[in-house]
Each structure stands twice: as structure tokens, then as C-alpha cells.
Amino acid sequence: MQTKIKTILAIFVLFVSASSCDDYLDLRPQDGIVRDEFWKTKEDIQAAVIGIYSSLLNSPPGVDDFSMTQYLFMHGELRGGMVVEGVFATEDERDILETNVLPSNALTDWSIFYRTINYCNTVIDLAPAVKNEDPTLTQDQLNHFVSEALAIRAYMYFTLARTFKDVPLKLTATLSDKDNFQIPVSKQADVFAQVIKDLKLAEEYAVEDYGNNASNKGRITKYTINTMQADVYLWTESYQEALDATKKVINSGKYKLVESNNSATWFNTIYSNGNSSEGIFEFQYTSANTGPFYSIFFQRPQFKAYSLMMDEVYGYDVNDPIGRRDVRGNYASLFGATGEIIKFTRFDGGELKQLQDSNTHWFVYRYSDVLLMQAEALARLGQGKDAITIITDLRLKRWALDETDMSPGEGDTNGIIDFILAERAREFAFEGKRWYDVLRIARANNYERKQLLIDLAIATAPVDKQQSIIAKLKDPNSHYLPINTNELFTNKALVQNPFYK
Amino acid sequence: MKKLLRLPSLLKLALVFLTALVFQNCTQVEIKQTTDETLNITEYLRANQDYSMFLEILDITNYASFMNTYGTYTMFLPTNEAVKQYLKDVGANSLKDVPLADLQNIAKLHILDARINTTLFTDGKIATPTMYGQYLITGAANINGVSSITINKTANIVASNLELGNGVVHVIDKVLRVADKTLAQTIEADVNLSLFTEVLKATGWYDKLNQPLTYDASKIGSHLTVLAQTNDVFTKAGFNSLADLKARYSKSTDPMNPADSLNLFVQYHVVPQLNYLADLATTPVFVTKAPLEVISSKLIKDVIYLNRDVFNGILEEGVPILRAPSDVTTSNGVLHYVDGHFTIKKRLPSPVYFDVCDQPEFAANVANYRKSTGASFGIPPGGFADITWTGSKTYTLDWNNYGGAVNGDLIRATRFRTGSGGLNDIEYKTPVIIKGRYKIWVSYRAHASGSSNTKVFFNGEQTSRILNMKEFPNDPSVVATGIVDRVYESQGYKRHIFPFVKGDAMVSRLVGIVEVTTTGRHLIKFNTDAGTSSGSADADRIDLIEFRPVDIDQIWPKFKKGIKTGIKDPNGDANGDGLIQREEATKGDNSNSGY
């Protein structure tokens, strides 16, 4: 009897210990997919790529931060002199408006850019292996996906280098905690070089047409890449390359300026509806996934237009302010009367989009940008006449007032560049471009036009800080934001921009 | 012992265990008693070798323990190199050789009793004085392409905003020095100001500018601001010596007499209180030591101009301030340099026609402002630089398009009432008015629901008459009741628009005679007693406030209604200036020959 019990007991113990490796002890997340289950089919890659775009629209759940759009707006406009603080501007926003930035300023947080960069890196690193798993994935399809990721990563680094100057280059996916996070900064020029390299490869792999309009405007195409190239080349002062890139877009024949005799139609086509014939790359906000604009421009306005926008940027006709006006100005970019920025919140004539319908896109590149970049490249290459032809044509189609025609001579390169800068202010008001435009032109040719930035400060700085701001702006390092204090704590390899001592 | 060994094994075990426990229990558990490990300022200095010399100063002066107490301080912390340089400058070998009092002053000059981050810095002084009493001035400078924030124009900040337990620390590369020279001594020390110094001595002002700082009962210091002219400036204006100046100005031949013009010249260059350039850039008018004479200041682009004003439509250029040498802190004030000779201007009182809609904030609304088709629009409290009011936090003061008024507009309060349901005590800053005696006429558009008892205050003093905006103008075309202009004026009214249009209901009321004591901008305020009942004060619209010197014609010139076009009109406004002189009015009101 004793032996029998012992035997049974032994068998039982054996049974339990042998069966314990079963997978009821294997924990897997119930609300997500782990990596070794993903990256099996081309649909997985597609989902990951769409995820990249999605990260541009709004932050993922659980991340309590501004959206990418809001950062692009603030980095591009706050220091550009066309935006002033609204009633609900935060302290941090106000400090940047007044060129009074400390590394502790929350707006210098760049994590949102690196988050998207990591999504791109993940696709670039892991997508090629899917070919072994999914025989239906063609090399072409794979290339297309990689092209999209490369281009967006390039745009992220381009924006970072224009905003922070020297930034860390992370070109591989961060897949585990064992990765090295202590990466030093790369020089701005090296970042630009990497962007150019990525865009070149992306162009090789690129899609020309997705077969539907929304994808052609909302995803990266060959022409988006060419447009980005033109932009980067203007920054690196490679004007011939910039010109060539713009020609590729223009010669494709896929884009044309929206023209209309009716200002409301014009506005609705380009802005309220979006994806117009002049859209090149737009963040595709929808009613289901709305942008930040309703809140920051209307409901609790953090930003308003500079009070002299109408006077100094668009001009106005005293005798016929409604009938004879620049179509881009009053009732399009802003309400001249109140300074409310309406480009992203309203239909023309001022009818407000409701909160739940606030689906106006964010316009990264429009065709007019390509045209004006071409004009800039031409002017720099000494072909002033062609540059002026482009500007004149654009002005005609935008009902620009004669009062704002600076009519520079064909040989007057700086005059033409000034004209382009002024035209860009009118064309891209509040589209996150102003500061970068002024900075690009000021820094060209070894900061030949530094005075542009100082004039900007004289016109817009608070009077009791004006002199300090001018002195600060004379230091080129001050044109870039500092690395956020938190980043310096966590990444000891980083070195702060010397201006922020 | 044997007994113990004989105990059952279980008990033995327990005994051993308990014995072991006794020995084990003696270790103490560490309990963390602080919630924050941020160092206080002195502790921070002790932990950082780079600042050991300033710490030594604090130790010698016994301020070290003080800087370790809780509070909100700002410390400008010189590096060791800076302190060594300071020792070299004062010719001492070690800090022990420097007199204790000097070290105490130095230490106190580097500490502020408030937490000031660099984001609060302006082009002028830090609002909180140092423990020593002197103010520090902030700014920024670019040296060889590198910009730094500067303190007192000499020290650069090398590390900023170090947040510590009891304050914030900014590291600087030079020791800040106490300004120990008075204004007079500072001026005398500058060879370029030799003539100015002579003038000061001749007028007795040298001694006045040499007085040490004192504080009155309300702790306001006796600081002065001097606007000095260099010898070059005097030469350019034709004055090469004191004799030249005396010959030109000193009519009484006794420059020590405060009424003498040369003495007044100096008085006009001295402004009470501490005014750094940032203050000059933000404050439009300063009272000077010359009785009732003011200096205006204006920032255009990046140049500060003094006395750049428009008088009677003519721009007087004014004199610019030389920025680079200015902002010199002295023990009893601040010294600036001006790039031009300026004196008190004798001006005769001249009329000021103040269209209350002449506000830059209105003008910024280019789509509507002074457009015949412009829609009325409002600006909420705090929106105007030159108009303030009490009451509702949201109600607006509106630009109101009205073709019957001067310049085609009126200013309209959204409910001119008492309490939070309306606007009240609406105070306007006037354009520059030259000192003298004036009659104030307030022109308005009469309305049955206007407020009937509006009190007017000029510089805080109530004028003699009360405005009743329910009162309509007298119609001169009605034979039975019409009152001619002169009689109407004697009753305290006038029809300020020519030609008079009855339907426009525009009328002007004399509210009183005032003595304007200083040339400059003044305040005029409107107050009502009207309560909260609707309909009682919803239609108060002011067109124009006229300040006419008492000795000129109070009726003519009149005004043309509507937006100023500049078009010449032979039947009224012959020269197109919007004003209609008596002789331009070839026909009377209502086209009758009433004049």
C-alpha cells in the first residue's frame, strides 16, 4: 500500500512538472501585437507605413503632447513676426515669441520628431525581411514603402536641423532597451547631407501615382520628394540642384495653381476642402481625426495675426477694401479686423467649421511653393528675368495688389530675393514657413543678410527688450532652439548649443 | 549549566535563535528625512570649486550662513577668475587685504531678494534692487559673433538660471562694482562733458547732483536722471564756451537764480527718478526739474528720440539719445548722452481737436476703420494703449461708423453704466496739449437713450458742467426757436459740424475751462451715474473733444462731416483740410445766408 501511494505521488509530481511548460504561463499582450508576430505580410508593412502618417496627424494614445502640426506651426511661425500671442498663449509660447528661450522651455522638446523617425527607421530596417515571409510582396512594392519612410524621415531631420541646428542622427530602428541611446549631435551640414542622401534613394524607389487623389496628396510621391529636395538644396545653397528638382515637379504636369474669379471658391478649393490641384503634400485631417486648429486659433486662441499684417504684408485699397484685395489676405488667411487666423478654421466669407468638422489639412508643400522656390533658385543663379516672370504670374492669379509690387530690376538679385520673401509671406501666411524663409535667406552666403532678422526684431520686439533681442540675434547660434534640459539629462553625449549658457 | 544542557532540544534551539535575534536587532533602519536634495546657494558654492573665492567673500562677510537660509534669492556669482581680476584691479593680494566694508558692499550688490530668471531681463534695470540698494541693468552684447546676456554692461553671463533650493544663480565673468561716483563726479570725469560740467557749476547744479542718495518716508530714493550734452553737441549748436551760453540764455546775469534761463536749461536736462533707456523707450512723457516742463520720448525703430512731437501739424525732429555710452549707473542716478542741443521751447497755447477715434488699435483694423462701408467693431478692456475704463471685463469700446460725424466716426461704449454690467470711468489720454488755459468742448451724437448726467474729469478734477447726451442740437432754421451761433455759444453749446444737418443730431457742449499746467499728454475721463436699467445709457457716442485756448474763437473753424477726403470744396472747405474757417463758409447752415 505504502509503495503504491508513493508511486502515484511520484507519477503526479512528474506529470505536473512535465506539463508546466505549457503556454498558459506564456504572457502576450492582449491589446497589441509583438514584433515576431508582425512583419509577416505586405499588409503589415502597409499598416506600419500608414502608422507613420498617422503619427504626423496626432500623437498616439497615452502621449500628452502637442501634435506634430502644432510643433511645425510654432517652430515656423512664432519667431517669424507674423504671429502674436493670443489670450491663451502659454508662458513657453510667449517666451519664444519674445526670443527669450531657455532650455527648460517645453516647446524645445523634440521627442515627437524622433518618435516618427523611429517609426520610419523601423519600416526601413524590418520591411526588407518580409520578402522572405510573403512571396506576394514584389520588390517594387517594398521599394515604395521604403521610399515613403525614407522621405518622411528626411523631412523630420530637415525640420530638426532647421530648428535645432546640430541634432543626433539615429538611422536605425530602436527595437530594445539594449540600444545605445547616448548619441552625440551631428553637425547641421551633416544632417542636411544625410537628408539629401535619403531623398535621393527615396526618389529612386518612389511612387509616381497611387491611383487616387487623396493618397497622391496625403502620401509621399516622387514629386513630394522632388519638392523636399528643392527645399533642402536651397538651404545648402546648391541652387542648380534646387532648380533641377523644381523642374521635375513642374514638368510632371500633375499640378497647377487654383484659379478662380470667386474668392470663396478659391479658398474652399485649396484650404477648406484640401487636396486641390496645387496640393503636393498635406496632412490629411478628417472629421474623424481632426486637427488642432479649432482650439488654438478660435476656441482658446493661443495665436493671433500680427496687427499690421494687412498694412505691411497684403496691403489694402482704401477705397475698395472688399472688392479689390489680395485673395490670400483678408477673409482667407486672417480676419484683418480682429487678427483671428482663419486659414485653418473656416470656410471663405468667415463661416466657422464646427469643432467636430475641423478637418482642414496642414499644408506641408503646395505647388506655389515649388514655383517660388524655383524663382529663388533662378534669382540666385542670376536669371532674374525668369524669376520675376514666375512671381508676376503667381501674383496675377492671387489678385495681389499693385501696392505690394516691389518691381525689382532683373539684375538686382537681393531685390528679387526680397520680393520673393515678401511674396512667400503672403502666399504661405501661418503655414509654418515664415521663420525658416527669413532664416534661410538671412544665412545664405555666410549670413550676408543678417540684417533681415534684426529688422524683424525691430519691427516686432517688445520695446523694452528690443536692444537685447537685437544683440542676441547677432549670434547665429541664437537662431536655433536649445536642446531641452531633459534631453541633456538623459543623453550625456549631447552638448548644448553654446548660445544657451 | 548542566540544567541548561538538559533542556529539550526544541527549547535549546529557541534559545539560540533568540540570542541571535538580540544581536541582529541593533542595526538602525535608515529613514530618509528630506523630500528634496536640491542644494541651497551656499551649499552649492561649497560643492563647486570654481566659485571658492566668492564663497570666501561670503565667509569673510558672514553672509554665507544667510545665503543658506530658505528664501527666494537671485545671486550673480562671479567665477574665481573674475574675483582674481577684481583683486588685481583693486591692488590687493588676497581677499583678506580688501577692507571688510568693500567686501560687504560687493557681496550685497550680487544678491537680490527675489527670484529673477533671465526671461525677466529687459534692456533696463531689474525691477528688484540689489541688497546693496543699487539697481542692476541687464542687456545683451555681441562680441566676435557670440552673444551673451550682460549685467551692468560689463559682466557677461556664462551660465544662467541654475535653480537651487533657495533661489536662482547666474554665473558671471566679472565682479560687479558698486557705482561710488555721484552724477556730478561721473560727468566731471568725462572730458567730453567739460562744458556741461562748467554749466553745472555755474548754475549751482553741480552740488545738487553731488548729493548722496537719500530716501523719503515712503522709501522713494532721490535718484536723478541726467541727459547730458557733449562738447561736440554744444559746438554744433554754436556754443563753444560757457560765455556763449551765458550770452544766449542768462538774461538775468545770475545763473544761480532758478528763474534764470541758463539755470532752467540745466533743470530741463534733469529728470527725477531713475530712468534707464528701457524706461525712456516705454514711457512717453517725463516731468523735468524745470517747473511744469516735460520731455516727451518716443522709440522709432531702434532710436529713442526726445521731444519728437507734432505741433500744429508740423513734425519737430527732436534729439536722439546716444545708446552706446548711455545708461551709466552712478551712486545717485543714471546718466545718458543726447545727440543734439535741446532746450525748453516757448510755445503759445494752440487748439487741439482730439478725435477720440484716433487710436492706433482702431486704425490697425484696416478693413473697416474710416471706410465708408466699414462695419463697427469693438476692442475689449486692455486693448488700448491710451484708453482705460472700469466695469465689465468683456464689453467693448467700439469704433462706430457714422457719416454725420467728424472723420465719419464716433466712439461708442457698449453700455455706459455703473457696475459690472457696463463701462464707466472711460479715460482717454489726449494728444500733446501746450500749457495754458483752455475751454473743453465735447461733441457727441445726441440720442434719446443717452446718459443724462455724464461727469467729465480733466486730470482727475471734475469740470464745471455735466454732459447730457439726451440733449439735441438747436435747429437754427426754425425761425421761432432757432438760436444763432453766438447766442448758442453763450449758453455753452455749439454746432461744430458745418453745414449743420439736423438729422445727424451732432452737437458740442462746453464742459468747462481748465488750466493745463504742463505741456504734454493729459487725461480726460467720463463718468456716469446711470444704473443698470436697460435703455438708460446705451447710446453714448462721442465724436470729438476740442481744447481751445480761451482767447481764441470758440466756434470757428467748424468741421466738415464725414471721412476726410482732402478734396477741395468751394462751397465750404476751400483748402480741403477738413476744417471750415468762417471765411470759407460762404453760405450759412441749411444753405441760408445766416452769417
Which residues are CB-neighbours of A494 under 8 A, at least 6 positions away? A168, A184, A185, A483, A487, A488
Closest by CA to B537, choosing from B443, B420, B413, is: B413
Q: How many angstroms separate the CA of residue A473 from the nearest CA in chain B?
A: 8
Q: How far apart are CA A230 and CA A249, in angstroms?
A: 10
Burial A36-64 (b: 16+ CB within 10 A, else e): eebbeebebbeebbeebbbbbbbbeeeee
Predicted TM-score (pTM) of this structure: 0.76
Residue A314 CB neighbour total at 10 angstroms: 25
Report chain B residues whose CB lies below 8 A from the CB of A466.
123, 281, 299, 302
Nearest to B121 among A316, A468, A499 (CB): A468
- Which residue in this structure is represented by grid cell 522713494? B220
Q: How far apart are CA A344 and CA A365, in angstroms?
A: 15
Phi, psi dihedrals of residue A314, rounded to the nearest 5°: -95, -25
CA-based nearest residue in chain A for residue B140? A468
Asked if B371 has any chain A CB less than 8 Å from its own CB, the reply is yes
- DSSP helix/strand/coil, B224: strand
Report chain A residues whose CB lies below 8 A from the CB of B138.
468
Note whether A137 and A150 are within 8 A (CB): no
How far is CA B504 from each of CA B405, B477, B483, rounded to the nearest angstrom? 8, 15, 18
Residue B95 CB neighbour total at 10 angstroms: 18
B276-310 confidence digits (pLDDT tens):
888 888 877 788 898 878 888 888 888 899 988 77
Asked if A472 has any chain B CB less than 8 Å from its own CB, the reply is yes
Report chain A residues whose CB lies below 8 A from the CB of B149.
468
Residue A109 CB neighbour total at 10 angstroms: 19
**Beta-bridge partner residues of B304:** B299
Nearest to B123 among A318, A322, A464 (CB): A464
Q: CB distance B323–A467 less than 8 Å?
A: yes
Q: Is B594 a residue whose pLDDT tops 50? A: no
Note whether A172 and A186 are within 8 A (CB): no
**pLDDT value for B570:** 64
Q: Which helix (H) or strand (E) holds B160?
A: strand B155-164
B530-541 confidence digits (pLDDT tens):
765 555 556 789
Half-sphere exposure of A231 (CA within 13 A, CB side): 26
Total beta-carbon pairs less than 8 A apart between chain A and chain B: 104
Asked if A468 has any chain B CB less than 8 Å from its own CB, the reply is yes
Phi, psi dihedrals of residue A107, rounded to the nearest 5°: -75, -10
Q: CB distance A499–B147 less than 8 Å?
A: yes
Asked if A469 has any chain B CB less than 8 Å from its own CB, the reply is yes
Q: How far apart are CA B434 and CA B572, in angstroms?
A: 29
Each residue's pLDDT expressed in tens, for chain A with a length of 501 residues: 667 888 887 777 666 666 555 566 667 777 667 777 889 999 999 999 999 999 999 988 888 889 999 999 999 999 998 998 888 889 899 889 888 899 999 999 999 999 999 999 999 999 999 999 999 999 999 999 999 999 999 999 999 999 999 999 999 998 888 888 899 999 999 999 999 999 999 999 999 999 999 999 999 999 999 999 999 999 999 999 999 999 999 999 999 999 988 889 999 999 999 999 999 999 999 999 999 999 999 999 999 998 778 878 888 776 777 778 899 988 899 887 788 899 999 987 678 999 888 999 999 999 999 999 999 999 999 999 999 999 999 999 999 998 899 889 989 999 999 999 999 999 999 999 999 999 999 999 999 999 999 998 888 888 888 888 888 999 999 999 999 999 999 999 999 999 998
Helices A111-133 and A42-57: angle between axes, nearest 10 degrees: 170
Asked if B318 has any chain A CB less than 8 Å from its own CB, the reply is no
- DSSP helix/strand/coil, B239: coil
Q: CB distance B157–A501 less than 8 Å?
A: yes
Structural domains for chain B = 41-172 (2.30.180.10), 183-338 (2.30.180.10), 352-591 (2.60.120.260)
**pLDDT value for B222:** 87
Q: How many angstroms separate the CA of residue B113 from the nearest CA in chain A?
A: 22
Question: In chain B, positions 149-188, which contact chain A (CB-CB < 8 Å)?
Answer: 149, 157-161
Report chain B residues whose CB lies below 8 A from the CB of A318.
371
Asked if A100 has any chain B CB less than 8 Å from its own CB, the reply is yes
Q: Is B595 a residue whose pLDDT tops 80? A: no
Confidence of residue B580 (pLDDT cuts 50, 70, 90): confident
First-to-last alpha carbon distance for chain A, in angstroms, is: 86
- DSSP helix/strand/coil, A313: helix
> Which DSSP symbol is given to B562?
B
B66-116 confidence digits (pLDDT tens):
888 888 899 999 999 999 999 999 998 999 899 999 999 999 999 998 889
**pLDDT value for B589:** 58
Q: How far apart are CA A200 and CA B444, in angstroms?
A: 71
Asked if A94 has any chain B CB less than 8 Å from its own CB, the reply is no
CA-based nearest residue in chain A for residue B163? A104
Which residues are CB-neighbours of B209 under 8 A, at least 6 positions away? B182, B183, B184, B187, B200, B224, B226, B270, B332, B333
Confidence of residue B361 (pLDDT cuts 50, 70, 90): confident
Q: CB distance A102–B148 less than 8 Å?
A: no
Q: How far apart are CA A123 and CA A49, in angstroms?
A: 7
Q: How far apart are CA A451 and CA A467, in angstroms?
A: 14
Q: How confident is the model over B135-160, as a mean pLDDT?
A: 89
CA-based nearest residue in chain A for residue B300? A458
B189-229 confidence digits (pLDDT tens):
999 999 999 999 999 999 999 998 888 877 778 899 999 99
Q: CB distance A466–B119 less than 8 Å?
A: no
Note whether B528 and B452 are within 8 A (CB): no
